[in-house]
Amino acid sequence: MSRFKVYIEYEGTRYSGWQVQKNARTVQGELLDVAKKIFNTNDVEFYGSGRTDAGVHALLQIAHLDVHTMLAPEIIRMKLNDELPADINIIEIEKAHKDFHARHDAVCRSYLYQISRRRTAFGKRYVWWIKDKLNIRKMDEVSKLFVGMMNLQSFTTDDPEEKSTKVLIDEIQMKEVGDLILIRIVGSHFLWKLVRQIVGVMVETGRGKLSIEKIQQYIRVQSDEPAKFTAPPSGLFLERVYYKGDKVLRELIPVLQITSSLDRRA
């Protein structure tokens, strides 16, 4: 059995998340179906670095592929891409050590969230359009409340696979680019809907509808209220999965620039 490290990007709109589910179309399910066809065997496994929710995208998901084959990594990549739907793409495949594990070896992950200040014909599936004026300073102030190791039980939906709701958030960055507000959250791992609920309460504070004191209370005492503010999946991207020795991204770059052509008139 050979093990390969697989670098994957996908547009998650049409999928019920990464993980295989009965009676639902998923990214992992598509990859497995195509791999079984190419290698002509059911003895194949695609194991991802972590799950993404329904409708969430990935700029760089990492998986390990286990299969009996003599094919070179580049040939495998081309064969998989020839069969995969257009919204899933294998960027690169490389041979991996037999003990490499896409999830367990990851040291941290980063997510990118995109908020659009205006309605857009081209970026609807990749942003959360917010009509209200947002106080960016207040949102940035709220983001700092989540940095560090803490119990974020109020900011996730029950997940039987997670034994602990303690998460180490390394940093949260914000940047305005054209009509976009970009938010990057870097952490050890992420609970189900955690990023979307953090973004949601940041936005509610930016709208002036939620106080910083209330969010501090959510962090101190378990509450179901943050679930009401969960941001839509359309604006969320799994940006990068980091392993020992990887260089952490610093620059915040939008996936799709949202700027009116009226702003670019000569």
CA distance linking residue 144 with residue 160, whole number of Å: 28
DSSP per residue, 215-236: HHHHHHS--SGGGGGPPPGGGE
Partner residues linked to 9 by β-bridges: 89
Give CA angle at 38 (37, 40), nearest 5°: 60
H helix runs in the chain, sequence order: 27-39, 73-83, 136-143, 194-207, 212-220
Structure tokens at 257: 């620039």
Q: Count Cβ neighbours within 10 Å for each residue of 199-215 and write b for 16 or more, e otherwise.
A: bbbbbbbbbeebeeeeb
Check if 53 is active-site.
yes
Choosing from 53, 87, 159, 263, the catalytic residue is: 53
CA distance linking residue 132 with residue 104, whole number of Å: 41
Contact between 194 and 151 (Cβ < 8 Å): no
CA distance linking residue 180 with residue 112, whole number of Å: 12
Contact between 205 and 146 (Cβ < 8 Å): no
DSSP 87: T
Residues designated as active site: 53
